[in-house]
Amino acid sequence: MAQDILSRNNVQVRGRGTQTLLFAHGFGCDQHMWRFVAPAFEADYRVVLFDYVGSGRSDLRAYNRERYSSLNGYAEDILDICQALDLKDVIFVGHSVSSMIGLLAAIREPERFHRLVFVSPSPRYLNEAPGYVGGFERQDIEELLQTMDKNYIGWANFLAPMVMNRPDRPELNQELTESFCSTDPTIARRFAEVTFFSDNRKDLPKLTVPSLIIQCSEDLIAPRQVGEYLHRNLARSTLRITRATGHCPHMSAPEETISLIKDYLEQASLS
């Protein structure tokens, strides 16, 4: 059973430490996106990477529309992997939607997690009156999903540069576009709907595990107000604003991302 899960999620284990860093990729991506960050921790930690079912080199036959109709289904992937590898005291590092997926996993089984690191997180992508700024109106997301239905390649070419927000690094835009395009369109469409209409604001007070919020200074997907909202509503959280712009600092500014994570873990070890 454990081997089935490791194969299903294309789990890769590296590093020489005893404590585990578990890296979780964002929507439309896979574990390859962590290649600029994860190796920096392999000397001191056991590094675990994986692909959610429906992404990367996971077993697409395992995709179940009902299970993955909410972020809880993806949280089950994380807990399955923790159980298969008998992981405890995990430092979870999640990008974008994986931040809330990791939060849900840590609420369900807090004993497995030591720290959570949220990279470009958002508990709600839609603006909600009164006073919550998520970055998108409902019509924006509905039009985005309609574009996915009509012209998936065109959608990928439109969204990737907006997500990356690094016009000076066209190679990153191209890589993200190719990552979107390599994902099964039907599964990607479903994951996008689940992601952009998710609302985890009521889950935030349930988290007991300490967390680091890495918020980019100019992020069109998760504006700065989102990071500040999370910090106000997550007990035992630390907020760091990056110099990096865009939604993918682990790709566009890996050195800064590594430094922020290492500084946080070093301070945590002293407390």
Q: Are strands 90-95 and 20-24 parallel, antiparallel or unpaired?
A: parallel
**Residue 250 appears among annotated catalytic residues:** no
Q: Which of 25, 95, 114, 247 is catalytic?
A: 247
Query: How is the beta sheet containing 237-241 ordered, strand by strand?
Result: 12-15, 46-49, 20-24, 90-95, 113-119, 211-215, 237-241
Query: For position 2, what pLDDT does the model report?
Result: 82
Q: Which of 55, 58, 96, 252 is catalytic?
A: 96
In angstroms, the CA 28 to CA 186 distance is 12
Q: Please give the C-alpha separations between residue 231 and each of 21, 34, 117, 242, 257, in angstroms, as whole numbers.
A: 22, 24, 12, 15, 18
In angstroms, the CA 19 to CA 179 distance is 30
Query: For position 63, what pLDDT does the model report?
Result: 96
Amino acid in the structure at residue 66: E
Q: Which of 55, 114, 219, 237 is catalytic?
A: 219
**Residue 263 appears among annotated catalytic residues:** no
Q: State both tokens at 253.
A: 């500014």
Query: For position 262, what pLDDT does the model report?
Result: 98
Question: What does the pLDDT look like over 44-73, one tens digit per residue?
Answer: 999 999 999 999 999 999 999 999 999 999
Query: For position 253, what pLDDT does the model report?
Result: 94
Query: For position 3, what pLDDT does the model report?
Result: 83
Query: For position 200, what pLDDT does the model report?
Result: 98
Task: Indicate the Cα dihedral angle 178, 179, 185, 188, nearest 10°.
Answer: -150
Query: For position 173, what pLDDT does the model report?
Result: 84
Query: For position 162, what pLDDT does the model report?
Result: 83
Instruction: With a cut of 70, list the residues of the chain below it in pLDDT.
Output: none
Contact 237, 264 (CB under 8 A): no
Amino acid in the structure at residue 52: Y
**Residue 247 appears among annotated catalytic residues:** yes
Question: pTM above 0.85?
Answer: yes
Q: How many CB atoms are located within 10 Å of the residue 172 CB? A: 20
Query: For position 154, what pLDDT does the model report?
Result: 85
